[in-house]
Structure 1
């Protein structure tokens, strides 16, 4: 039985992860973390009536229940400190919070190697999204002209999304270096052409009603190729989260991207 703690359990992704852990026969939910929750136990909340699980306000208190895995769906401002704390206390982090900097990722990876603590930071836990990124990387070797359009709900805090950045990074590894668009192109409104990543453009859409969607659009002479993934419900991410919880306890370092575990 894998003992799991969920940080950020009141958010939409955190709540979905909490319910997944409660329903999973191989997981034991030993605690949840939220510094602003007034209740002390989950069963004091209407949606968790049968769950006598402690609600922690301070991450230092979490160590008392000895979790094996720390699931983090919080916000970028606290995710780095949470993940560092988990690694320092030999708790394997499974992090879905995006917005961490390259420097922070590097520091956390180095620390995990030193302490031999496995972990996973994934910009997207949907298996279909991971396949979309891999297919896009394959296509980028043949179609250097490409733009990414990512679409998310209007409460998402970071732009571009972690998935879009990861996709661009993967494509840049195999893509012929090229700055797209006409050399005399001018933006009549700043940002009209999107963000630039190694010559590729990334466009972020934020609207209510959306969950998580990404379209990678390639253009060639006389043809085009579109690779798209849609998450219509947050439950689409839970297969990947569960897989992460099962796998990270057997690793000896932090990895970035669910594809490393598939």
Structure 2
């Protein structure tokens, strides 16, 4: 299975290997210098494969119902985890931090998005949001996506809201009194988030910022899932040096913002 057999290579297991993202990750790890794919784990496979193959790193690209158990298993067995699966709400993150406190040598990255451009766009949006009266998010994905809004959109809205609160900026003005349910989208910490599911799309997000007389749009488009792989590989190469929990790939980037 392995493309690289040197003793210093990271021994990587990919969970969710048969899925759209997982299959891309399998190929990326196989082709990456300094990495060895030791296990490609599908939905019916045992996590014991990680132990039997001597995995030191795990990529979790499974489903929300499975990801928490997968990461808990990795932490308990000293395996660093890079996680792209959604479903990590504040309660789950808190429980993971408590688990990591007893395994202080283990690093876990929970990344809503691995596309470096998407991570940068979210960071830029958070910085810019404090300077505009109105702020909304539109995310657009393929129709097989199981969650809405996307994890990236939720994370972006949270970062924008925190930036606006710190600057003393209130909620966006909105005089709506009558509406069909959902017409104004979901509300994530005072930021309206709108989800589009359309055949032909992969992963796209646009942040709209407005004040009197001007508008700023910050948009990122992923046209192929290969765009996520540089971030996955960056996570794998960094996670062991960052013990504990890191939420968002921006935690591994020197953004200088």
After superposition, the C-alpha distances for 1:150-177 in whole angstroms (9 at most, x for unaligned) are: 0011111111111001111111112112
Q: Answer yes or no: is the 8 Å Cα contact 1:177–1:198 preserved in 2.
A: no
Unaligned ranges ≥5, structure 2? 1-8
> Which residue of the other structure, out of 239, 244, 248, is the alignment partner of 2:235?
244
Q: Report SS of the residue matched to 1:85.
A: helix
Q: C-alpha distance in 2, partners of 1:27/1:93?
A: 15
Matches within 5 A, 1:1-262: 1-36=9-44, 57-116=45-104, 117-175=106-164, 176-182=169-175, 184-187=176-179, 189-262=180-253
Q: C-alpha distance in 1, partners of 2:171/2:134?
A: 8
Q: C-alpha distance in 1, partners of 2:31/2:98?
A: 34
TM-score by length of 1: 0.89
How far is 1:196 from its partner?
1.1
Unaligned ranges ≥5, structure 1? 37-56
Say how many residue pairs are matched.
Answer: 240
Dislocated runs of 4+, deviation >4 Å: none
Aligned-CA RMSD value = 1.1
Q: Answer yes or no: is the 8 Å Cα contact 1:145–1:220 preserved in 2.
A: yes
Q: Answer yes or no: is the 8 Å Cα contact 2:139–2:196 preserved in 1.
A: yes
Q: C-alpha distance in 1, partners of 2:43/2:172?
A: 46
